[in-house]
Amino acid sequence: MSIARQPILDAKRAVFGYELFDRTTGNAGYNAASDAALLFNLLSNADSEMRNTKKAIFINCTHETLAGGHLELIEPDRVVLEVPAMNAGQSDAEDIDTFFQTLTGYTNGGFAWLLTKTC
């Protein structure tokens, strides 16, 4: 697996954190399994700078990843979950309620998250 990282800068142009990407699968392979592989690779093989930094780590997560439970393996204090917003026209009220209950659970567990645009 090849993990790429993109620096995220603050208003003073200092590195605030890094967004991590799995570059081995391409966009077509982005799913819950690739999210899990990225996390496991980060935990086991990533360079010591990424494991030991105090900087935030931004990780893209599918809705399936949130439901998978493997995010409990990482420390939430410096992780920001980037989650695609649900498409209200394609989701029913129950799905949306479940989605926000899941996000609330992650918030209560110490994770920060942000919604991203759906493509």
Q: What is the per-residue pLDDT for 15?
A: 92
Domain containing 9: what range? 3-116
Q: What is the rounded CA–CA span in Å between residue 110 and residue 12?
A: 26
| 23, 3 contact by CB (below 8 A) | yes
Coil, strand or helix: which one is 99? helix
Which residue shows structure tokens 């819950």? 32
Burial 4-21 (b: 16+ CB within 10 A, else e): ebeeeeeeeeeeebbbbb
Least confident of 15-29, 30-44, 78-92: 30-44
Question: How many domains does the chain fold into?
Answer: 1
Give the CATH number for residue 95: 3.20.20.450
Q: Is the pLDDT of residue 97 over 70?
A: yes
Q: Is the pLDDT of residue 81 over 70?
A: yes
Alpha carbons within 13 A on the beta-carbon side of 54? 0
Q: State the pTM of this model.
A: 0.74
Q: Is the pLDDT of residue 83 over 70?
A: yes
Mean pLDDT of 112-116: 88
pLDDT classification of 28: cutoffs 50, 70, 90: low
pLDDT classification of 7: cutoffs 50, 70, 90: very high
